[in-house]
């Protein structure tokens, strides 16, 4: 007996101790695409953040106005800053400083940490910035040249590199369009577009770099060729011989002028290859010590070629030194400098080569190994390192046509950043479609005679045997994953399958550049597919008005503001149907409606009129739209023959001076698990559960007033309203509505001036609950009626609507909220959580509904009965505890919206935030009560049960033998 017991004790002692069931799953169940935006060719470069080190970082100022540094070895973001939009970025050579110019500001940044050094704001718009390559003796940092447009005139300021103060200022005398500033150390050049719109000449003003006084000025004739700033291909900066270049309108010749030489306009012929030239780019070094060489890269629809030119500093002549051969397809050329040496890196669809600007000899060549799914090469920047006398290495950060940013190291793909996913403007959840082949087969068997069905089934089972090897291969994985993890996923990352808990769903994302992405939320948000839906011209954004997903058929319908739409297969990303912009009338918004033919997405015109629709598609519910004047209207549809005609049922217009800024209704999926709230004395307050609630936000900028109106979408009756004064309408005003409560936040007066105390302001969060009556156990005027009507709330003629009983409470919060949403679960049993996007900290916080309960006792501690119902003392300030931050230490920038969807587990809601960044996670507001935590030690449980089983198996014969011996002794 002693040996088996000791053996059992020893076995149990070596098993691992059981861990907590609900462990912190940060960075495991959530994911983030930390994005920058598309890198721009003139604001992207490699730079040493510390002059005494050889390591470099990759810097860019993207098309979304995000300034960031990327580690070139890993592709991870080192730091980011959000600026005022697109602009200009320059690195101060030999110093760890970056200088940016966006909007009206010029700012300096520490290149290693991204912290701001100084910033200066002006009245004009920044048109260009450059760094003075030399600093005067004893002055320290290099100065900055900042070009502005003020009152349609060019204004150039020289800013001190140490603090950004203005050293001198030059103002143009004529109304010209400033283009760029350049310098060759001896002189400063201001290049402007001179003349009427439609055709410009180029005016070059030469300034003294010490005083800023104009020394000379000349004009280059280009009116027939230059019609916009984009027509000027290059204005060289900080070179020993900076040039300005453009092509004639036929793209037959390149016209080049060395800045400062008024009579040196030269025409260089462009060679055609495989058709007409469609694009010409010029690549030149931007360092004073670099040799005055430049490369002209010309591309046709089928091929590309390059020519290298040298500038003779003595005579000012420009001569072709050599040419690179014509190669098929598109390619990218980038320039890098090392002391006086200039290297050109050419990346084509077949290879990567390095050449020196001095000779055509190839210094390095590697075959290209970049995935074809990235598309063709658009533009890039390169860094060339000379390892030995005849050995070189190169890495290039290249933007691809599929909007991926790829690092190519010696021809091989090192990492990829899906920067095209940035700038998301709309998103929607989609279920992974189930296979319907088995269902169709069973349906076919059910409609056949029994003998045919039996034969068909036997054949089907025989055919299914070919799946047996794959099933047997997956069986060990299923067993191991069931023991080690509660979330069973497929070991094939490229296969989309539903899981048992509903965590694997697709997020369909549309971006402002006209692309659509499909992300797998159950696999760290990996991009499953991408599609170029529409070609959006430069300077414009795709304005998506709505996305509707038909999960049963696996189709997503996306509608835009210009009448365009596209139908996409959610599983593969293939387009089934497409209508280009301009073919249908413009759209104000889009709404998903239910009809006898099923749900569909209904476009709403600019005047709030959806137009006549087929009768079989008639919406079953009232439609709430905004009219041409901003008023809110309720529409119902009247069937007239084969068509359904919209008719205005009611109109709501706020008081004079107010304008409506937001209209929202309850979520489409908003289940109610309980119709009442139990009070501490065991009575019940019945919730006002009106599915037709609409929350309207109106503001008056002149009077600094914000008013919130609660309307009935069927009758248009106003059920409740509240007004706040002293509101800063420039700050975010956000709201959300769910079940029988709504919440909003704003910046306004905390104490009114009539209170006798000094007025104070702050960020407020106001929550309001609606009940049928102010008397417990009372159902209000409707009583226990199972049916009710918003149009006829009572049997009494002309009766007023049954107004809800309102309970409100106000909380102070430490920062502004830019967006609100509410978690969703399958049955609505789980306590809801308010998800708020914080503007200052770039994070998302989940505030439990229990904190926002307006019934919390004020000025006293709760009674035991109140505490039993989850009530605790009211505190006027809600501090955002780090445990409430869903993004943890991550910074999620530019969040435009947050969408939620229920999982199959009642405890869990899936969350997806999009904007510049993309973030996803899953939350359990009432804790994961229906699933074991990831930290639950299943192995320990299995080992314990196994050890107990072994112990029982060992002890059972002994106990049986002892019982037999005992009976024999008694006998």
Q: What is the pLDDT of residues 193-204, one digit of tens each?
A: 988 777 899 999
First CA to last CA distance, the chain: 24
Mean pLDDT of 572-592: 92
Q: How far apart are CA 662 and CA 831, in angstroms?
A: 26
Backbone angles phi, psi at 591, to 5 degrees: -130, 140
Q: How far apart are CA 649 and CA 633, in angstroms?
A: 7
Packing angle of the helix pair 2-13, 938-970 (nearest 10 deg):
170
> CA-CA distances (angstroms) from residue 507 to 153, 429, 826, 949?
48, 5, 18, 46
Tell me the β-bridge partners of 280. Answer: 298
Mean pLDDT of 732-753: 88
What pLDDT sits at residue 294? 93
Mean pLDDT of 906-935: 90
pLDDT digits (tens, 9 = 90+) for 775-811: 999 887 766 666 666 666 655 555 667 889 999 999 9
Q: Among candidates 170, 231, 222, which has minimal Cα distance to 194? A: 222
What pLDDT sits at residue 434? 65
What pLDDT sits at residue 313? 84
DSSP 969: H
Nearby residues of 843 by Cβ (< 8 Å), 6 or more positions away: 837, 885, 886, 887, 890, 891, 892
Q: How far apart are CA 283 and CA 357, in angstroms?
A: 11
Secondary structure element (H or E) that encloses residue 966, with its range: helix 938-970
Which range, of 456-465, 534-543, 866-875, 940-949, averages the lowest pLDDT? 456-465
Mean pLDDT of 688-702: 94
598: burial class by Cβ within 10 Å (0-12, 13-18, 19+)? exposed
pLDDT digits (tens, 9 = 90+) for 317-374: 999 999 998 998 889 999 998 888 899 999 998 999 999 999 888 999 999 999 999 9
What pLDDT sits at residue 466? 77
What pLDDT sits at residue 485? 53
Q: What is the distance, to the nearest Å, from the Cα of residue 815 to the centroid of all Cα atoms in its chain?
A: 22
Given the structure tokens 């309001």, which residue do they identify?
768
Fold of 37-121: Thrombin, subunit H (2.40.10)
Secondary structure element (H or E) that encloses residue 450, with its range: helix 450-463
Which range, of 231-245, 294-308, 830-844, 895-909, averages the lowest pLDDT? 231-245
Tell me the β-bridge partners of 397. Answer: 381, 407
pLDDT digits (tens, 9 = 90+) for 941-951: 888 999 999 99
Mean pLDDT of 932-960: 85
Q: Among candidates 12, 7, 37, which has minimal Cα distance to 916? A: 37
- The sign one gets for the Cα dihedral 480, 481, 485, 491 is positive
Q: How far apart are CA 171 and CA 149, in angstroms?
A: 10
Beta strands in 903-970 (DSSP E): 909-915, 918-923
Mean pLDDT of 609-630: 92
Residue with more model confidence, 623 or 173: 623
pLDDT digits (tens, 9 = 90+) for 534-546: 999 888 999 999 9
Check if the beta carbon of residue 809 is closer than 8 Å to that of residue 895.
no
- The sign one gets for the Cα dihedral 369, 373, 379, 381 is negative
Mean pLDDT of 886-900: 94
pLDDT digits (tens, 9 = 90+) for 37-55: 999 999 999 999 998 888 9
Check if the beta carbon of residue 718 is closer than 8 Å to that of residue 651.
no
At residue 12, does pLDDT exceed 50?
no
Task: Give 942-945 contacts, CB < 8 A, sequence gap 24+.
Answer: 942/483, 943/15, 944/12, 944/15
Mean pLDDT of 850-871: 92
Q: How far apart are CA 483 and CA 470, in angstroms?
A: 21
Check if the beta carbon of residue 283 is closer than 8 Å to that of residue 317.
no
Q: How far apart are CA 799 and CA 788, in angstroms?
A: 13
CA 936, 939, 941: angle at the middle one, nearest 5?
75
- Per-residue pLDDT band at 750 (split at 50, 70, 90): confident
User: Quick count: other Cβ atoms within 10 Å of Cβ 577?
Assistant: 10
Structure tokens at 229: 């700033």
What pLDDT sits at residue 440? 61
Check if the beta carbon of residue 169 is closer than 8 Å to that of residue 163.
no
Q: How far apart are CA 603 and CA 591, in angstroms?
A: 7
What pLDDT sits at residue 21? 32
What pLDDT sits at residue 15? 38
Helix and strand numbers, DSSP H then E, in the chain: 6, 63
Backbone angles phi, psi at 144, to 5 degrees: -120, 135
- Per-residue pLDDT band at 13 (split at 50, 70, 90): very low
Backbone angles phi, psi at 38, to 5 degrees: -75, 125
What pLDDT sits at residue 898? 97
At residue 36, does pLDDT exceed 90?
yes
pLDDT digits (tens, 9 = 90+) for 388-420: 888 899 999 999 999 999 999 999 999 999 999
Q: How far apart are CA 41 and CA 178, in angstroms?
A: 20
Backbone angles phi, psi at 470, to 5 degrees: -65, -40
Check if the beta carbon of residue 149 is closer than 8 Å to that of residue 194.
no
Q: What is the distance, to the nearest Å, from the Cα of residue 641 to the centroid of all Cα atoms in its chain?
A: 45
Secondary structure element (H or E) that encloses residue 408, with its range: strand 405-409
Q: How far apart are CA 501 and CA 931, in angstroms?
A: 9
Q: How far apart are CA 112 and CA 59, in angstroms?
A: 11
Instruction: Label residues 511-541 b or e (16+ Cβ within 10 Å = b).
Output: bbbbbbbbbbbbbbbebbbbbbbbebeeeee
Q: Residue 233: which region, alpha, beta or left (left: phi > 0; alpha: psi -120 to 50)?
A: alpha
Backbone angles phi, psi at 864, to 5 degrees: -55, -35
Backbone angles phi, psi at 94, to 5 degrees: 80, 0
Q: How far apart are CA 188 and CA 169, in angstroms?
A: 12
Q: Among candidates 56, 59, 40, which has minimal Cα distance to 48? A: 56
What pLDDT sits at residue 887? 93
Given the structure tokens 């019940």, which residue do they identify?
684
What pLDDT sits at residue 619? 93
pLDDT digits (tens, 9 = 90+) for 274-320: 788 999 999 998 888 888 999 999 999 889 999 999 998 888 899 99
Q: How far apart are CA 710 and CA 718, in angstroms?
A: 6
pLDDT digits (tens, 9 = 90+) for 802-826: 889 999 999 999 999 999 999 999 9
Which range, of 453-457, 625-629, 656-660, averages the lowest pLDDT? 453-457
In a 13 Å sphere around the CA of 174, the CA atoms on its Cβ side amount to 12
Q: How far apart are CA 276 and CA 247, in angstroms?
A: 14
CATH entry 3.60.130.10 includes domain 123-229 = no
What pLDDT sits at residue 853? 93
At residue 461, does pLDDT exceed 50?
yes
- Tell me the average pLDDT of the chain: 88
Structure tokens at 96: 């760890």
Q: How far apart are CA 311 and CA 300, in angstroms?
A: 26
Q: Residue 959: which region, alpha, beta or left (left: phi > 0; alpha: psi -120 to 50)?
A: alpha
Q: How far apart are CA 389 and CA 322, in angstroms?
A: 23
Secondary structure element (H or E) that encloses residue 385, with its range: strand 377-386
What pLDDT sits at residue 5? 45
Tell me the β-bridge partners of 735. Answer: 744
At residue 899, does pLDDT exceed 70?
yes
Check if the beta carbon of residue 104 is closer than 8 Å to that of residue 70.
no
What pLDDT sits at residue 491? 45
What pLDDT sits at residue 9? 42
What pLDDT sits at residue 784? 64
């Amino acid at each position: 007996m002693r040996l088996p017991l000791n053996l059992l004790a020893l076995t149990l002692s070596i098993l691992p101790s059981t861990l907590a069931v609900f462990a912190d799953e940060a960075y495991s169940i959530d994911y983030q695409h930390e994005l920058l935006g598309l890198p721009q060719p003139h604001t992207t470069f490699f730079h040493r953040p510390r002059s005494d080190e050889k390591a470099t970082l990759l810097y860019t100022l993207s098309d979304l106005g995000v300034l960031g540094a990327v580690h070139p070895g890993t592709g991870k973001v080192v730091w980011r800053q959000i600026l005022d939009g697109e602009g200009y970025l320059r690195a101060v050579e030999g110093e760890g400083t970056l200088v940016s110019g966006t909007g009206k500001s010029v700012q300096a940044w520490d290149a290693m940490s991204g912290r701001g050094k100084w910033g200066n704001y002006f009245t004009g718009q920044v048109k260009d910035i450059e760094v003075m390559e030399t600093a005067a003796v004893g002055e320290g940092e290099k100065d900055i040249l900042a070009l502005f447009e003020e009152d349609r005139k060019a204004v150039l300021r020289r800013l001190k590199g140490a603090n950004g103060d203005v050293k001198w200022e030059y103002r143009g005398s004529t109304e010209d369009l400033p283009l760029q500033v350049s310098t060759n150390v001896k002189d400063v050049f201001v290049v402007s577009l001179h003349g009427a719109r439609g055709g410009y000449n180029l005016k070059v003003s030469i300034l003294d770099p010490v005083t800023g006084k104009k020394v000379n000025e000349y004009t280059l004739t280009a009116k027939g060729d230059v019609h916009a700033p984009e027509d000027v291909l290059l204005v060289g900066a900080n070179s020993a011989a900076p040039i300005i270049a453009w092509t004639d309108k036929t793209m037959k010749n390149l016209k080049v002028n060395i800045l400062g030489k008024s009579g040196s306009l030269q025409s260089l012929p462009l060679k055609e290859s495989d058709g007409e030239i469609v694009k010409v780019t010029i690549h030149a070094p931007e360092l004073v010590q670099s040799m005055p060489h430049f490369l002209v890269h010309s591309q046709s629809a089928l091929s590309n070629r390059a020519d290298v030119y040298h500038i003779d500093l003595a005579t000012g002549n420009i001569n072709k030194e050599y040419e690179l051969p014509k190669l098929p397809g598109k390619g990218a050329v980038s320039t890098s400098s090392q002391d006086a040496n200039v290297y050109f890196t050419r990346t084509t669809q077949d290879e990567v080569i390095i050449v020196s600007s001095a000779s055509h000899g190839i210094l390095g060549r590697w075959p290209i190994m970049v995935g074809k799914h990235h598309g063709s090469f658009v533009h890039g920047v390169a860094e060339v390192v000379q390892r030995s006398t005849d050995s070189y290495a190169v890495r290039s950060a290249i933007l691809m046509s599929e909007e991926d940013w790829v690092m190519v190291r010696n021809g091989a793909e090192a990492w990829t950043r899906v920067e095209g996913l940035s700038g998301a403007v709309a998103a929607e959840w989609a279920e992974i479609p189930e296979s319907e082949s088995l269902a169709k087969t069973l349906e076919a068997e059910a409609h056949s005679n029994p003998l045919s069905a039996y034969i068909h089934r036997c054949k089907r089972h025989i055919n299914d045997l070919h799946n047996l090897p794959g099933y047997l291969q997956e069986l060990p994985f299923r067993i191991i994953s069931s023991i080690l993890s509660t979330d069973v996923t497929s070991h094939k990352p490229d296969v989309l399958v539903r899981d048992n808990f509903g965590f694997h769903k697709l997020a369909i994302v549309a971006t402002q550049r006209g692309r659509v992405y499909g992300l797998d939320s159950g696999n760290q948000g990996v991009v499953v597919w991408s599609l170029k839906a529409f070609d959006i011209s430069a300077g414009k954004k795709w304005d998506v008005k709505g996305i509707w997903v038909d999960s049963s058929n696996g189709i997503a319908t996306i509608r835009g503001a210009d009448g365009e739409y596209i139908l996409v297969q959610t599983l593969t990303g293939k387009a089934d149907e497409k209508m280009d912009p301009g073919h249908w009338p413009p759209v104000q918004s889009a709404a998903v409606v239910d009809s006898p033919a099923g749900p569909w997405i209904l476009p709403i015109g600019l005047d709030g009129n959806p137009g006549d629709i087929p009768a079989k598609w008639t919406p079953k519910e009232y439609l709430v739209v905004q009219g041409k004047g901003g008023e809110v209207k309720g529409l119902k549809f009247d069937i007239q023959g084969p068509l359904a005609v919209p008719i205005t049922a009611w109109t709501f217009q706020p008081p004079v001076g107010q304008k409506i800024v937001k209209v929202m209704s309850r979520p489409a999926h908003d289940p109610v698990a309980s119709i009442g709230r139990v009070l501490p004395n065991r009575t019940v307050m019945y919730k006002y559960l009106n599915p037709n609630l609409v929350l309207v936000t109106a503001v008056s900028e002149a009077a600094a007033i914000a008013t919130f109106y609660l309307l009935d979408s069927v009758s248009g009756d106003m059920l409740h309203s509240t007004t706040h004064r002293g509101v800063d309408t420039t700050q975010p005003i956000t709201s959300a509505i769910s079940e029988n409560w709504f919440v909003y936040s704003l910046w306004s007066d905390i104490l009114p001036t009539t209170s006798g105390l000094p007025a104070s302001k702050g960020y407020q969060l106001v929550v309001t609950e609606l009940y049928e009556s102010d008397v417990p156990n009372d159902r209000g005027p409707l009583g226990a009626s199972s049916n009710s009507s918003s149009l006829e709330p009572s049997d009494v003629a002309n009766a007023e609507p049954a107004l809800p009983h309102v309970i409100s409470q106000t909380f102070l919060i430490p920062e502004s909220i830019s967006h609100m949403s509410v978690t969703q679960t399958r049955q609505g049993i789980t306590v809801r959580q308010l998800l708020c996007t914080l503007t200052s900290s770039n994070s998302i916080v989940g505030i439990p509904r229990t904190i926002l309960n307006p019934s919390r006792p004020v000025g006293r501690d709760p009674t035991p009965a109140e505490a039993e119902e989850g009530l605790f003392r009211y505190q006027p300030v809600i501090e955002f505890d780090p445990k409430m931050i869903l993004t943890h230490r991550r910074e999620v920038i530019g969040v435009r919206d947050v969408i939620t969807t229920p999982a199959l587990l009642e405890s869990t809601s899936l969350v997806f935030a999009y904007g510049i960044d993309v973030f996803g996670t899953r939350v359990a507001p009432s804790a994961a009560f229906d699933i074991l935590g990831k930290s639950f030690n299943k192995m320990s449980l299995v080992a314990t049960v196994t050890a107990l089983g072994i112990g029982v198996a060992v002890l059972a014969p002994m106990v049986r033998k002892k019982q037999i011996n005992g009976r024999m002794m008694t006998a």
